[in-house]
Amino acid sequence: MSDTQHQAEAPAFNPMDPHGTNYADDHHGHVIVGWKTQLTILVILLILTALTVNVAQAEAIIMAELNIVIPHWVNIIGAMLIATVKATLVCMFFMQLKYDKPLNSIVFGFCLFCVFLFLFFATLDLTHRDTIRPERAQYLIAGGTGVGLDQTIQDNTLSAGIGPRPSINNQAITEFRFEQALTNKYHGDAEAMWTYYYSHQDHPHRHEKDTENYFHALGFDHHEEPSSEELSRPKHGTTPGLFDDRAPSHDTHHAADDDHAADDHPDDHEAGPAADTNAETEDHTAGDDS
Amino acid sequence: MTTIDAPDMHSGHPPADTRSKKERLFWKNRGHSEHFRSHEEEFDACKFGMWLFLTTEVLLFAGIFCAYAVFRTMYPEAWAAGSHYLNWKIGALNTVVLLISSFTAAMAVRCAQLDQQRWLKLNLIITLVCAALFVFIKLKFEYLPKLSEGKAPGTFFSYPFAHDPHEPLWWGVYYIGTGIHALHVLIGAGLLGWVLYRAWRYKAYGPTEYTMVENSALYWHLVDLVWIFLFPLLYLVH
């Protein structure tokens, strides 16, 4: 670090003042870190921030486009490695541990070691916390629940397990809130509820609680599953020209099945292909009617 | 020999300081406490004390990171769903804001060491503006919209469209982690605001007197340090 400066060095030993008690010229040897150094560190930190964001984005794109499932630990380890590099830079240069007395670094390092101990022992048995290995079973004795550990705990209030306990009608709070909102806020109108939900998402996906598939019926899935030469998917809504790519000539491979329906409804291009595809037919019709 | 003014001379009280507060707090007129040999030693002791305090802060946040690690391993679906509720762009923006403020805080220390009073004040002001920006973004684009939707921790949870029954737990870790961090932002801004006030009014900090600037900046860097880990864990990891 060429642009760091050292303040004046301490004077030579003074026999009249061996402990430097009266030495008034303070702050000898303190380093003044140069602004170029700090600015470089800032730029590196910003680049690393962009990098960690792009790594997460790149993984999401790879998973979506190429159908490659990247294990979770890649994501976590990558992000944590970049974060550790960033934290080290902040500690060394912004917090000046690089130029400081080593005692401060030792204290901080010991603290980080303690953090490691916390994390290590807290997560040590996570993968088999609820299981009893057969070779260890004979050493286990009944605990405070009053029942053997190899028996199912009958009374849930005695369970030491962490997690949502059965509350109202044995529901988790998330289930309860769902039904509460449906009853109280939307007065049982599931369509209104799902319309609200899907219209407030940037890129809506079908919600697993949407058992009636309002996602389809309300026409929110046309971004997700576009039609192609091989597979026609119904589209919904009143957008002009939305059905232009579904002209009968494109459905020639369905001609044998569709002839009858197409003749009956020459203006309705969807009737033919929709009739032989799948359950989407009903949703599609419902969407048109609404 | 006893004189009439002897009791005053040997009572142990220093003569009354007749200087104004502005003169006393001017950095060139600052001495060191009597129980230290020199200002140098006092500075080192103060800074070491600050580092000891920072370790306790790290351990405070370590509890939250521990809860994050344990609950994430137990309920990965809830954590994946929770991470998708957050907008990484807002988190990244706040990261940039904090990194810039950390740089200006480090620059403030340098300006105090070099007796650049105008730049010291300017750097502190930029740091404070960044702190306000951080809290504003957090409240306006994160806390308030999410709370109004019912995405609240634990028993306050009322969001109807949860994907996983353990999402209230995710929000608990999210709010306690970012909330305690935001509290530290406010405290750090308070410290730096105090430094700015004294620099402005008394020219209290200079090459031989910048302990308060240094320690406040250290606190601010710790706030930055915690966010460096909170940001990827909450917003990016899925």
What CATH number is attached to the domain comprising B74? 1.20.120.80
What does pLDDT average to over chain A?
A: 70
| SS3 category, A18 | coil
In a domain, B20, yes or no: no
pLDDT of residue A84: 95
Judged by CB atoms within 8 Å, which residues 174-213 of B form the interface with A?
A: 207-208
In chain B, which residues have their Cβ closer than 8 Å to the Cβ of A83?
228-229, 231-232
- Enumerate the domain spans of chain A: 5-11+27-122, 167-212, 225-290
Cα A242 to the center of its chain, rounded Å: 34
In a domain, B9, yes or no: no
State pLDDT tens for residues A200-227. 887 777 888 888 888 878 877 765 555 6
> Of the candidates B38, B65, B113, which has its C-beta nearest A20's C-beta?
B38
In a domain, B94, yes or no: yes
Binary contact (A174, B167; C-beta < 8 A): yes
Q: What is the mean pLDDT of residues A106-134?
A: 84
> What total number of domains does chain B contain?
1
pLDDT of residue A189: 87
In a domain, B98, yes or no: yes
pLDDT of residue A140: 56
User: Tokens in use for A64?
Assistant: 């979506």
Looking at residue A133, its amino acid is R
Cα–Cα distance, A220 to B22 (Å, whole number) = 68
Indicate whether this complex's ipTM tops 0.95: no
pLDDT string in tens for chain B (238-residue length): 454 554 455 556 666 778 888 888 888 888 888 888 888 888 999 999 999 999 999 999 999 999 999 888 888 889 989 998 999 999 999 999 999 999 999 999 999 999 999 999 999 999 999 999 999 999 999 999 999 999 999 888 889 898 888 899 999 999 999 999 999 999 999 999 999 999 999 999 999 889 999 999 999 999 999 999 999 999 988 7
In a domain, B109, yes or no: yes
DSSP labels for chain B?
A: ---TTHHHHTSSPPPP--S-HHHHHSGGG----TTSSSHHHHHHHHHHHHHHHHHHHHHHHHHHHHHHHHHHHH-HHHHHHHHHHS-HHHHHHHHHHHHHHHHHHHHHHHHHHTT-HHHHHHHHHHHHHHHHHHHHHIIIIIIHHHHHHT--SGGG---TT-SSTTHHHHHHHHHHHHHHHHHHHHHHHHHHHHHHHHHHHH---BTTB-HHHHHHHHHHHHHHHHHHHHHIIIII--
Binary contact (B99, A181; C-beta < 8 A): no
Q: What is the mean pLDDT of residues A1-8?
A: 55
- Which is more confident, B117 or A65? B117
Give the list of residues 6+ apart from residue A21 with CB closer than 8 angstroms, or none.
B37, B38
Q: Which domain holds residue B198?
A: 37-236
CA angle A262, A268, A271 (to 5 degrees): 60
Cα–Cα distance, B32 to B43 (Å, whole number) = 9
Binary contact (A41, B40; C-beta < 8 A): no
Q: Does A119 touch chain B (CB under 8 A)?
A: yes
In chain A, which residues have their Cβ closer than 8 Å to the Cβ of B238?
56, 60, 72, 75
pLDDT of residue B21: 84
Cα–Cα distance, B149 to B115 (Å, whole number) = 51
pLDDT of residue B93: 96
Judged by CB atoms within 8 Å, which residues 157-196 of A form the interface with B?
A: 162-164, 172-175, 177-178, 180-182, 185, 193
User: Tokens in use for A231?
Assistant: 């597979």
| Minimum CA–CA partner of A40 in chain B | B103
